[in-house]
Structure 1
Amino acid sequence: MRHSIIVTFAAACAALPTLPASAGDAGPSVERGHTVAIVSGCHDCHSAGYMESGALDPATALAGAGLGFRGPWGTTYASNLRLVAAERDESEFVEHLRTLKTRPPMPYFNLHAMPEADMRSLYLYIRSLGEPGEPAPAAVPPGEEPTTPYIVFAPPTMPAG
């Protein structure tokens, strides 16, 4: 009986319509990249002031931020994605996103699941933003005090027993 339930479920899943990988059926575009940056949360950390206000300033969009994220790993900063894109061509950028591994709190593993068309659109959007600007602050090792404002990411203390 259990086997027939699994087969039935698998058959039902196979009958579902296939959804497009992205809404950009016409191919990668700056407009799609803008949407990807918003819904993927890129601006939340990589655009100074966006997380606090929800307002996007094109002059600082995806240019990194000086707000640190401090935890057991030290203090990390959202990188300047304009510089990341400027240092690579489109295919190199896609490969970078597919293989990126970073420190917390960046959920790099989510990038690995992003459809390639969305990665290419993100690249086009980032390159459309203008001059790359300066790098974000360098990571600060655990135990060292950062010189910038930061958010503390501390695991909860669990009660004994």
Structure 2
Amino acid sequence: MKRSFLLAILMSAACIWAGEPDSNQRGRYLIVIGGCNDCHTPGYPESGGKTPESDWLVGSPVGFQGPWGTTYPTNLRNSVAHQTEAEFLAKAHTAMRPPMPWISLANMTDSDLKAVYHYIKSLGPKGPDAPAYKAPGENVETPYFEFVPKNLPPSDDQTGGQQ
């Protein structure tokens, strides 16, 4: 009787464990559905998502310019290579310059953020870092998309919440 009970407990635990997705696979899934590759992987949207995974998340020298200045998609592989999990989680809960959808990132669960962190970390560093942020009015020598809505009423805050 004791053996049957112990066996039932072990089998239940094995079923629960087997049902949990691998953390790296969960992180990969979140990267894909979160649209991270759309900006952080050159050519991803144009390829219909067919960019080899070995080329994912290397950032881009093509900037996004708006009232906040000019920002560039970070080389996540290089930045995560130098961050602890705790540092990554803290950064994920911090406001970032547009067009990064940081509010979506900040609302992810710590479990999901950890999966994203470990997936990116598993890819290893690759390529150069993205260019540095340029404040409004600074000379920009790289290609960039201009994010300037037309015909908006005046606003007191043109920084996107950033100082």
| TM-score of Structure 1 vs Structure 2, range by shorter chain | 0.7 to 0.9
How far is 1:142 from its partner? 1.5
Alignment of 1:19-34 (within 5 A): 26=20, 29-34=23-28
Equivalent residues in 2 for 1:9-158 (5 A)?
A: 26=20, 29-54=23-48, 55-98=50-93, 100-158=94-152
Contact 2:134 2:140 in 1 (8 A): yes
Question: Structure 1 residues 158, 94: closer, same or farther in 2, change over 3 A?
Answer: closer
1:152–1:103 CA distance, 2 compared to 1 (3 A): same
Aligned residues: 135
Alignment-mate amino acid for residue 132 of structure 2: A
User: Secondary structure at the residue paired with 1:45?
Assistant: helix
Distance 1:132 1:158, change over 3 A: closer
What stretches of structure 1 of length at least 5 have no aligned partner? 1-24
CA distance in structure 2 between the aligned counterparts of 1:94 and 1:72, rounded to whole angstroms: 27
Which structure 2 residue ranges, 5 or more long, are not aligned?
A: 1-18, 154-163
RMSD: 2.1
Cα 1:152–1:31 change in 2 (3 A) is same
Contact 1:28 1:120 in 2 (8 A): no
